Structure 1
Amino acid sequence: MSTGTSAAAPAGEHGTDHRKGLRTGSVGLLGSVVIGVSCIAPAYTLSGALGPTASVVGTSLPAIFLIGFLPMLLVAVGYRQLNRAMPDSGTTFTWASKAFGPWVGWLGGWGLLAATILVLSNLAGIAVDFFYLALAQLTGNDALAGLTRSVPVNIATCLAFVALAAWISYRGMETTKAVQYVLVAFQIVVLLWFSAAAFGHVAGGTAFEGLTIRAEWFNPLGIDSFSALAAGVSLSVFIYWGWDVVLTINEETRGAATTPGRAAIATILVIVTLYLTIALAVLSYSGVAEEGLGLGNEEIQENIFAALAGPVMGPFAILMSLAVLSSSAASLQSTFVSPARTMLAMGHYGALPSRYARIAPRFQSPGYATVAAAVVTAVFYTVMRVVSENVLWDTITALGMMVCFYYGVTALACVWYFRRQSRRSAKAFLAQFLAPLLGGILLLVFFVQTSWDSMDPDYGSGSAIGGVGLVFVLGVGILLLGVVVMVLQHRRNPAFFRERFETTELPVLD
């Protein structure tokens, strides 16, 4: 893969020009929503999150999904307002730099990069698991499913998936969009099929538990403690994460100032509807018992759909394996969009070396940054897989901490950026101040609470280093690593850290 050079100006000379050489107008509203849903990867995220979340909050699973949805919606409102003012592919990095200065902006960008690298590693691992499971089901050879437990085979297959996903991303948004239409449509059809079949078993009296949907399932006050609430929301944040990719592609979207914000809201609404449908179906069918097919059974929690697909869908169970495989593969590919464009923006403005701002001339995509994201993901997955499977599993919980951090910073950046303009009308106050303020505070509170709780060695997989929980070590350690890298970058290029760059003028809220 060869990369060309960007026309980006050096830090301090870019003025108000935020264009980076990306292909403009290549994605519309529908394409943006499809890419947003793809990045969230509903089939993949639910397969790994339904069990752990239910084990924490029991039958309050729908309540947790609604609670997790609320700060996402509030933050998305803030993202929409920031995008109208500055349609820039750097999103969190650019907006936080503009609002709070380059140091906070750099750390916000690091949080986004860390989250995406963590999830890319997990997506690749899940894709490998379901690839060999699907092969075993298609051929009738159960031994093939066991290949994923072979470390060399697992890593080699994972690296092949990463390379393929990066190649598609390298080819730009047109190729990405075409691939995602097919993969997203397939997984949604299968998920709705699964939900309908589960409700059918409940109605017919053939479900494992056969619970009747109750109003208290939606009541957050039924959750035992604030720690359980925070842990549940942290996992819930993980399953909603990814919608902000539609803002990252704003410079390549038709109607760059307005379409991405609308796509973000639409994506979240589509996902919460889909999640509630599936959560109610699974909860009604399985219940929360700690044995058999109950969601409290630790033996099936890591992959709920693998355990339930057969009993629920019968001979069509293989479709669920293929749906989770396509979901993780689709998200693996679309998730590359976000870190590549964030690094592109950081290189463009001088926060990273200028080579990150290089554009692939043929595809008008962030060529160098895409390859860099693929290399870092491959190395991270290889090291973590060799060290321990528990480490990879704990990165999911650490991911929730990263997401709460950079979403919270972005939301508060909206509040500060519009602190004067938000007084002009009630609508402006609600959209530019109150909604992002509440969303940002909620997420940062959950970040602090989860960080505190994760110090317990029993948190997550139960692994610990020096008596401190591995989740805390991973989450806080990655943030501290960001501080170290930021200081090194400051020594290398102090010009960026001395300025507060402008992008566009403030718009009038309509």
Structure 2
Amino acid sequence: MTQDRLETETSLQRAIDYENHQLQAGGVSKAGSALMAVAGSAPAYSIAASTALLIGAAGVGAPGALLWCGIPMLGIAFAFGYLARVDTHAGASFSWVARGLHPLLGFFAGWAVVISATIFMVAGALPAGAMTVALFAPDQANNTLLVTLVGSVWFLVMAAAVIFGVHTTERAQWVMSIIEVGILVVFAIIAIPRAITTYHHGQAFSWDWFGFGHLTTAGVFVSAALIAAFYYWGWDVTANLGEETKNAHKTTGWAGIIGIIIVFILFEVYTSTSLVMLPGKTIQDNAANVLGVLGDAIMPGIGGKIMIIAVALSTIATLETTLVQVSRTLFAMGRDRTIPFAFGRINRKWKTPVFATLVVVIVSLLLFVLANVFGDSVGQILGWAVSSIGLQIAFYYSLAGFAVVIGFRKVLLKSVKNFILIGIWPLVGAVFMLYIFIAAFVDNITNGAIIVDYLGVGLLVIGVIPLALFYRKAKEIYFTRRPLEVPEDFSA
């Protein structure tokens, strides 16, 4: 009897703790949620940093790779949207996969978000510093110490915006993302007619670029698809903001879909324009910032500098959204006791997970400084780690896709709309992500890049440590989590 009473009191105390540590409900508007999805995918940064890689992997098949990766990615966005309809949770896939598939898989889905986001922030801070220095002091562009310091300052500024409340986070995104996307749209309007009527040292545009014809082998397709996944990744920050978004049950899903559609259009326009207006050698020689060179081709004289502004803002904005995503995931994991509960506490004034945010900031800054101060060895390791992010993204996206299909299985045949949007399309996305995960893993072994597999999967396996340490504490809260509760009349 005493033991039963003790367990009851413990459960009651945990329920009180859970209630006392809630994020700011309604802090993000509907429009702000969609804006976060666009900012999370970082269109200008993605185009600048990844275009050369994508074209190097697929040639003129690059637009096709973006299309054929975008379609299944939209299926994952549908999965996130419908899962959010029945379970609005800061942990997003951490909770959904647990309830739709199994808590152990859910834990590793959350762990994959934490690992991939932390690594990305380390990789993103350097371009933020480099672009700022290139804009204001181009003669110091190769000054590693200066670039590191400026990148660190930007990272700390964005961390402060995240800590001081979701309203501050959203306001910062409105300023940065509106300017960034505005620049990209204006330059696209100028570039498209020129690309159609003539081409400058590149290739004549062809609609064949969007087919499978140029994705000649399975290896080419997998390599290109993995890079394309990097382009889109980040839109799902809207799901992690679910507990802080107005009418989140419907808003977060559609915000993610709108975000993917917007960045898809921008990605296709700029990838195709790069192929038309720039020679292949120029693209590869300027792999770190293709967008700057393209800006000069579109608007000679000043275009490159304007594009540098767009890339800098995009990089800074995505540092903020990524920090939001990882801090909310850690908060949810801590609140559910799968990691120390300190991560699950919020600041009473700002209603944000300050401890979780500060831990990520300290770890990221430490890795960032080590990578840039101690030379190529650490930098190379981080380069491999960044390549491993694709494996982690594909892992947790595929789990979320399967979770919605299995979790909603009883309502899939209620209507054609349910069958397509909750069943077939997310299933295609899940299978696609699982395929590129397995194929990329095997391809890395074949091509001697096994270190990427060790990091990509190895960093996931490290999650076994907190899992073992905190399993008993989380057993009653997380590891016995009830299945998804889907109404029998649920309609897409």
Task: Give the TM-score, by structure 1 length.
Answer: 0.87
Correspondence for 2:131: 130
Per-residue displacement from partner, 1:182-230 (whole Å, max 9, x unpaired)?
Answer: 1111111222333344445546757222x33212101123311111101
Deviation at 1:72, TM superposition (A): 1.0
Instruction: Note the alpha carbon deviations across 1:136-170, whole angstroms, 9 max, x for none.
Output: 2xxxxx421121xx2x4443333322211111001
1:398 aligned residue (362, 384, 388)? 388
Deviations 1:107-126 (A, max 9, x none): 01001111111211121111
Change (3 A) 1:492 1:250: closer
Residue 155 of structure 2 is matched in structure 1 by: 162
- Partners of 1:84 and 1:497 in 2: CA distance: 20
Matched residues in 2 for 1:275 and 1:311: separation?
18
SS in 2 for 1:362: coil
Matches within 5 A, 1:64-143: 64-136=65-137, 142-143=138-139
SS at match of 2:106: helix
Q: Distance in 2 between the 1:54 and 1:10 partners?
A: 55
Distance in 2 (alpha carbons) for counterparts of 1:357 and 1:107: 18
1:467-486 aligned within 5 A: 468-486=449-467
> Which residue matches 1:487?
468
Q: Within 5 A, what are the aligned runs for 1:67-466?
A: 67-136=68-137, 142-147=138-143, 150=144, 152-199=145-192, 201-202=194-195, 205=198, 207-209=200-202, 211-287=203-279, 289=280, 291=281, 293=282, 295=283, 297=284, 299-316=285-302, 317-385=304-372, 386=374, 387-456=377-446
Quote the residue 1:499 is aligned against: 480
Secondary structure of the residue aligned to 1:361 is: coil
DSSP-derived class of the 2:462 partner? helix
Using the alignment, how far apart are the partners of 2:477 and 2:161 within structure 1?
Answer: 32
Aligned partner letter, 1:236 = A
- Using the TM superposition, give the Cα deviation of residue 308 of structure 1 relative to its aligned residue in structure 2, in angstroms: 3.1
Deviation at 1:498, TM superposition (A): 4.5
Report the CA distance shift for 1:486/1:380 in structure 2 as closer, same or farther (over 3 A): farther
After superposing the two structures, state which structure 1 stretch, 383-392 or 108-117, moved more: 383-392
Taking structure 1 as reference, are residues 343 and 256 closer, same or farther at Cα in structure 2, changes over 3 Å only? Answer: same
Q: CA deviation at 1:68?
A: 1.4
- Residue type matched to 2:298 in 1? V
Q: How many positions carry a matched residue from both structures?
A: 477
Cα RMSD (Å) of the superposition? Answer: 2.4
Deviations 1:300-351 (A, max 9, x none): 2232123333333222221111111111001111221111111111111111
Greater shift in the superposed pair: 63-72 or 159-168: 159-168
The letter for the 1-side match of 2:412 is: S
Q: Residues 397 and 498 of structure 1: is their aligned pair in 2 closer, same or farther, counting only changes over 3 Å?
A: closer
Instruction: Give me the whole-angstrom Cα distance separating, in 1, the residues matched to 2:76 and 2:221.
Output: 19
**Retained in 1: the 8 A contact 2:338–2:473?**
no
> What is the CA-CA distance between 1:384 and the residue it aligns to?
3.5
Q: How far apart are 1:51 and its partner, in Å?
A: 0.5
Aligned-pair distance for 1:438?
1.3
Q: Distance in 1 between the 2:406 and 2:163 partners?
A: 35
Spell out the pairing of 1:17-32 with structure 2 (5 A cutoff): 20-32=21-33
Equivalent position amino acid for 1:381 in 2: F
Confirm or deny: 8 A CA contact 1:26 1:173 kept in the other structure: yes
Percent identical pairs in the alignment equals 23
Unmatched 5+ stretches in structure 1? 1-8, 137-141, 459-467
What is the CA–CA distance in structure 1 between the aligned matches of 2:286 and 2:249, rounded to whole Å? 44
Say if 1:223 and 1:112 are closer, same or farther in 2 by CA, change over 3 A: same
Higher helix residue share = 2
Asked whether the equivalents of residues 12 and 499 of structure 1 are also in contact (C-alpha less than 8 Å), the reply is: no
Q: In structure 1, how many angstroms separate the alpha carbons of the residues matched to 2:198 and 2:439?
A: 41
Report the secondary structure of 2:445's partner residue. coil
Greater Cα offset, 184-193 or 51-60: 184-193
Task: Letter of the 2:452 partner, please give it.
Answer: V
Question: What is the CA–CA distance in structure 1 between the aligned matches of 2:332 and 2:427, rounded to whole Å?
Answer: 26
Aligned equivalents of 1:76, 1:69: Cα separation in 2:
10
What is the CA–CA distance in structure 2 between the aligned matches of 1:503 and 1:472, rounded to whole Å? 33
CA contact (8 A) 1:18 1:503 kept: no
Q: 1:58 Cα deviation (Å)?
A: 0.5
> Which has the larger displacement, 424-433 or 499-508?
499-508
- How far is the alpha carbon of 1:232 from its aligned partner? 0.4
* CA shift in 2, pair 1:11/1:246, >3 Å: farther
| Distance of aligned partners of 1:451 and 1:382 in 2 relative to their CA distance in 1, 3 Å threshold | farther
Structure 1 residues 64 and 278, CA gap change in structure 2 (3 angstroms): same
SS, match of residue 159 in structure 1: helix
Shift of 1:400: 1.4
| Structure 2 equivalent of residue 463 of structure 1 | none
Secondary structure of the structure 1 residue equivalent to 2:409: coil
Report the CA distance between 1:354 and its aligned residue. 1.0
Contact 2:195 2:205 in 1 (8 A): no
CA distance in 2, matches of 1:483, 1:234: 26
Q: Does the 8 Å contact 2:411/2:488 carry over to 1?
A: no
Matches of 1:257 and 1:507, distance apart in 2: 17
Unaligned runs of 5+ in 2: 1-9
DSSP-derived class of the 2:312 partner: helix
